[in-house]
Amino acid sequence: GAVVSQHPSWVICKSGTSVKIECRSLDFQATTMFWYRQFPKQSLMLMATSNEGSKATYEQGVEKDKFLINHASLTLSTLTVTSAHPEDSSFYICSASTRGLNTGELFFGEGSRLTVL
Amino acid sequence: AQSVAQPEDQVNVAEGNPLTVKCTYSVSGNPYLFWYVQYPNRGLQFLLKYITGDNLVKGSYGFEAEFNKSQTSFHLKKPSALVSDSALYFCAVRVEGTGRRALTFGSGTRLQVQP
């Protein structure tokens, strides 16, 4: 199956700093990537849809200026949590969709656990 | 709007016994249904999907699921549970033809298989 790599797996930062999380599709081109957030013992909540070469589409209630998404190439999308605060601590998971496969499953990265002190 | 319900927070089963993890959905249109498994501090692993055709879908690690349109259900099953099956299971849905490719997930069901 297709492989999605996410980095870093764990990150701890001080309040007020910014953190960048990378999501790469290793063996396929991902025209669309999705960023999810998962709170402890809860489901995955879609934050935004990232399309290569265009602006991300954010879900209602997600702050665009807080969670900056860039999808500069067909194999890389980044999520930057700007001016992080403790309430931003969460498990962030990216997923990718291959070109043209609307019926296909999404492939998920291993997730990034962010802890803001 | 589309939604997925997983009515059980946790399912306990003895090793060797059959297991069922329940999922019902609500969509306008034809659903594409998926099951994923998540181990602690890991991403999601794809198990199986229903797009069209045979209502009984077979997937990875011996899991299968049955699509029931009249009951709007897509329950996950396995004839004989293993301790290593213990994990968090998510049901997800996407609707055909909407152009929306993101998945909507259920709340998850924790499966605990006792030796």
Residue A39: pLDDT band (50, 70, 90) is confident
DSSP A88: G
Asked if A106's CB is within 8 angstroms of B103's CB, the reply is yes
Q: What pLDDT is stored for residue A91 in this prediction?
A: 93
Residues in chain A within 8 Å Cβ distance of B104: 46
Q: What pLDDT is stored for residue A11 in this prediction?
A: 96
Q: Does A60 touch chain B (CB under 8 A)?
A: no
Asked if B90's CB is within 8 angstroms of A108's CB, the reply is no
DSSP A46: E
pLDDT of A101 > 60? The answer is no
pLDDT of B68 > 90? The answer is yes
Mutate to test the interface with A, among B46, B52, B94, B101 (most CBs of A within 10 A): B101
pLDDT of A1 > 70? The answer is no
Q: What pLDDT is stored for residue A52 in this prediction?
A: 83
More confidently predicted of A1 and B92:
B92
Asked if A109's CB is within 8 angstroms of B32's CB, the reply is no
Give the C-alpha separation, B104 to A41, whole Å. Answer: 17
Q: Which residue of chain A is at minimal alpha-carbon distance from B48? A: A105
Q: Which of A56-65, B51-60, B91-100 has the lowest mean pLDDT?
A: B91-100
Mean pLDDT, all residues of chain B: 92
Q: Which of A42-51, B63-72, B86-95, B96-105 has the lowest mean pLDDT?
A: B96-105
H, E, C per residue of chain B: CCEEECCCCEEEEECCCCEEECCEEECCCCEEEEEEEECCCCCEEEEEEECCCCCEEECHHHCEEEEECCCCEEEEEECCCCHHHCEEEEEEEEECCCCCCCCEECCCEEEEEEC
Residue A95: pLDDT band (50, 70, 90) is very high
Asked if A102's CB is within 8 angstroms of B41's CB, the reply is no
Q: Does A102 touch chain B (CB under 8 A)?
A: yes
pLDDT of B10 > 60? The answer is yes
Q: What pLDDT is stored for residue A102 in this prediction?
A: 55
Mean predicted confidence (pLDDT) in A29-52: 88
Reported as a single tens digit per residue, the pLDDT across B21-55 is 999 999 888 899 999 999 887 888 999 999 888 99
Q: Which residue of B42, B46, B105 is in closest CB contact with A43?
A: B105
Reported as a single tens digit per residue, the pLDDT across B82-99 is 999 999 999 999 877 666
Mean pLDDT, all residues of chain A: 89
Asked if B106's CB is within 8 angstroms of A46's CB, the reply is no
